[in-house]
Amino acid sequence: MRVLVTGSAGQLGHDLVLLLKKQGHEVMGCDRQEMDITDLERTKVVVGTFAPDVVIHCAAHTAVDIAETEIQSAYLVNATGSRNVAISAERIGAKLVYISTDYVFDGLGMKPYHEYDNTDPQSIYGKSKRAGEILVQSLSSQYFIVRTSWVYGKYGNNFVKTILKQGQEKPFLQVVNDQKGSPTYTVDLARFLLELIQTEKYGIYHASNSGFCTWYEFAQAIFEEAEDILGLNITAILEPCSTEKYPRPAPRPRYSVMEHLFINTNGFLDLRHWREGLRDFLRELK
């Protein structure tokens, strides 16, 4: 299978390219230098020349707080760029995977969101990603929209790496304990995507590691597993705090747990529990 991956230098994109190559697929990884998705004609040329069977669209404007002031940039990449990728994939009859986010919901729920629950994004990032979803649905006849959350991996900066570093450098750490979600290891998400693209089970999917926690509980688990797996002597004391303690330009979802209804109804194996993914990530770091 020929697969083109946008955003290949990112956390998920990097792991996707490695996994696809390992499985024997012909892969073209594109970052901004190889293909500027905001340029429709250039995107058409690159996609058309490689002629992939599948395009996995990971590229995105993910600077959540910056997006609140750089509104045009966020929409240019997340909406217009996604439109350009969708048009280019559709022209050659390729399947399209659009990686989306839990931020398309309002984050005010009390029970896990289903794939077809009403969306109501509260931030510019969430609104621009939802715009990308709508354009993909409008322009592609063979699409998978895959919403994920709290992503971390070996390549790039993320919460796990930051907490590990600060845990060894600072005596005291406050971590938000009133936001709930599902941490997602990029390798586990990449494995699911590899299985998904080999089917015609199109639609919207929620794909995160199973289970949920708060950021504080996630930090606790990181410290516990890192001491065991990495042998680190973490001296920082963790203390839970409220979202209001650390105000940000962009509102964070208080509740972004997503039920994997479409994974289960389509016969896919659900992603494993987030703590198992965390352990494997730390072993990979080691």
- Residue 286: per-residue pLDDT: 85
Q: What is the mean pLDDT of residues 185-198?
A: 98
Residue 232's pLDDT band (cuts 50, 70, 90): confident
Residue 54 CA from chain centroid, whole number: 18
Contact 270, 211 (CB under 8 A): no
pLDDT tens readout for residues 136-149: 999 999 999 999 99
Per-residue pLDDT tens over the stretch 92-111: 999 999 999 999 999 999 99
Q: What is the mean pLDDT of residues 11-25?
A: 97
What's the rounded mean pLDDT across residues 171-181?
96
Q: What is the pLDDT of residue 126?
A: 98
Q: Which of 113, 125, 143, 216 is catalytic?
A: 125
* Ordered alpha helix ranges (H), 5-60: 11-22, 40-50
Q: Please state, rounded to an integer, the average pLDDT across all residues of the chain.
A: 97
- Cβ-in-10-Å burial (0-12, 13-18, 19+) of 118 comes to exposed
Beta bridge partners of 213: 181
Cα separation values, 78 from 82, 131, 269, Å? 6, 7, 29
Amino acid at 206: H
At 93 the pLDDT is: 98
Average pLDDT for 214-220: 98
CA distance 25 to 54: 11
Contact 204, 116 (CB under 8 A): yes
Q: Domain coordinates of the chain in residue numbers?
A: 2-158+182-212+256-273
Going by pLDDT thresholds of 50, 70 and 90, the confidence category of residue 233 is: confident
Residue 213's pLDDT is what?
98
Indicate the class that CATH gives domain 2-158+182-212+256-273. alpha beta
Q: What mean pLDDT comes out for the span 62-79? A: 98
pLDDT at 246: 85
Per-residue pLDDT, averaged over 136-164, amounts to 97
The reply to whether 113 belongs to the active site is no
